[in-house]
């Protein structure tokens, strides 16, 4: 798979095209893609989503994607590394930015498209993207203060359009369904809402191990410890411990590859009591130590920091 490496903190691209020129690829940066007008499919990490005027996509560095264009499409791409918004040189700011992006990406993924909930929100983002494009065309300056705050505004709009992804919504219209069918549909909807709420809670609190324990979650969501374990595996296909461990592993891999945090900082951020425990956990899954994993990535030219 093609991999695009961006060394700048920020790049802005505006494109009008009837044919997508790039192969399936991924990047070393985050990307916000907005469709001002057009129609087609966006194939993102193995799933294809229809897009139209006003569609917005948020990509993580590990995502891979391509477009299938059906009608001439006008795009704006915001491409930024983890360094751009995270307060360079400040550990707490870097950690807070990484955590906020983790949550934003989880919420965006858990919500069916479109990310933006209304034409009014689409119009706001359209205007902001055009302002960013104009500023970039004039200055080509990744430290442009106006662009910085406009990007922050777009991320804020994404956040408010996705923050309800894990909150229970209204029941679907039942119409003339038979009573038994209604009951089954209601139960299925309630189970879906409950497991979504549990997963959302885990993602938001992944940095605090005490909040991801089975005992805490059982009390939080009103289940017995035994039943919650069965319920979680039935609806996710894995045990709670395995789900939490693999989600943490995913965050570790992203931090090691895409952030400037030290291994000790990553260990502390993810709630490990000591560095040896962190090293043992990572090596148990990946077969190499975190430092060797990062070194191998750098040698392969896959680290933006190498």
State the DSSP string of 67-119. EEEEEEEEEEEEEE-TTTTS-TT-HHHHHHHHHHHHHHHHHHHHSPSPSS-SH
For residue 232, which of 271, 270, 201 has the smallest C-alpha distance? 201
Domain count, the chain: 3
Element (H, E) at 52: none
My answer on whether 217 and 253 are in the same domain is no
Q: Are 290 and 297 in contact (CB under 8 A)?
A: no
Q: Are 259 and 82 in contact (CB under 8 A)?
A: yes
In a domain, 174, yes or no: no
My answer on whether 232 and 284 are in the same domain is no
Domain that residue 284 falls in: 243-299
Q: Are 49 and 56 in contact (CB under 8 A)?
A: no
My answer on whether 218 and 248 are in the same domain is no
My answer on whether 122 and 45 are in the same domain is yes
Distance of CA 176 to the CA centre of its chain: 39
Overall size of the chain counted in residues: 306
In a domain, 171, yes or no: no
Final residue of a structural domain among 97, 132, 162: 162
In a domain, 186, yes or no: yes
* Three-state DSSP class for residue 249: helix
> Rounded to whole angstroms, how far apart are CA atoms 235 and 253?
26
In a domain, 172, yes or no: no
Q: Are 206 and 270 in contact (CB under 8 A)?
A: yes
- Domain holding 252: CATH number? 1.10.10.60
In a domain, 173, yes or no: no
What's the whole-model pTM score?
A: 0.58
* Three-state DSSP class for residue 10: strand
My answer on whether 141 and 185 are in the same domain is no
Query: Could you read off the pLDDT tens digit of each residue along the chain, which spans 306 residues?
Result: 787 777 788 999 999 999 999 999 877 788 999 999 999 999 987 778 899 999 999 988 777 899 999 999 999 999 987 667 665 445 565 566 666 777 777 666 655 466 898 999 999 999 999 999 999 999 988 888 899 899 989 988 988 888 754 443 333 333 334 444 444 444 445 666 788 778 878 877 888 899 999 999 999 999 999 999 999 988 878 899 998 998 888 888 878 876 778 899 899 988 898 999 999 999 999 999 999 999 988 887 654 443
CA dihedral 44, 5, 107, 243 (to 10 degrees): 90
Decide the pairing of beta strands 25-27 and 2-4: parallel
My answer on whether 12 and 38 are in the same domain is yes
My answer on whether 10 and 156 are in the same domain is yes
My answer on whether 96 and 233 are in the same domain is no
């Amino acid at each position: 798979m093609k991999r695009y490496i961006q060394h700048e903190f920020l790049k802005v691209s505006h494109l009008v095209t009837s044919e997508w020129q790039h192969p399936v690829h991924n990047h070393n940066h985050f990307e916000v893609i907005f469709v001002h007008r057009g129609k087609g499919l966006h194939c993102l990490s193995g799933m294809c989503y229809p897009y139209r005027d006003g569609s917005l996509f948020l990509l993580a560095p590990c995502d891979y994607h391509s477009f299938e264009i059906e009608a001439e499409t006008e795009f704006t791409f915001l491409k930024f590394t983890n360094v751009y918004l995270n307060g360079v040189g400040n550990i707490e700011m870097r950690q807070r930015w990484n955590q906020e992006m983790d949550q934003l990406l989880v919420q965006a993924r858990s919500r069916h498209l479109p990310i933006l909930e209304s034409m009014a929100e689409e119009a706001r983002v359209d205007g902001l993207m055009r302002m960013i494009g104009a500023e970039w065309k004039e200055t080509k300056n990744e430290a442009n203060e106006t662009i910085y705050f406009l990007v922050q505004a777009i991320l804020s709009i994404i956040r408010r359009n996705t923050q309800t992804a894990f909150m229970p919504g209204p029941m679907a219209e039942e119409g003339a369904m038979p009573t038994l069918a209604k009951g089954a549909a209601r139960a299925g909807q309630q189970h879906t809402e409950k497991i979504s709420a549990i997963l959302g809670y885990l993602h938001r609190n992944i940095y605090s191990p005490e909040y991801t324990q089975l005992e805490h979650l059982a009390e939080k969501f009103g289940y017995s410890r035994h039943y919650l374990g069965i319920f979680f595996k039935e609806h996710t296909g894995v045990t709670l411990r395995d789900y939490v461990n693999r989600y943490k592993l995913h965050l570790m891999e992203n931090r090691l590859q895409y952030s400037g945090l030290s291994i000790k900082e990553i260990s502390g951020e993810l709630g490990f009591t000591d560095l040896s425990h962190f090293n043992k956990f990572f090596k148990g899954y990946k077969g190499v130590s975190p430092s060797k994993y990062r070194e191998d990535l750098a040698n392969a030219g896959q680290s933006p920091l190498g």
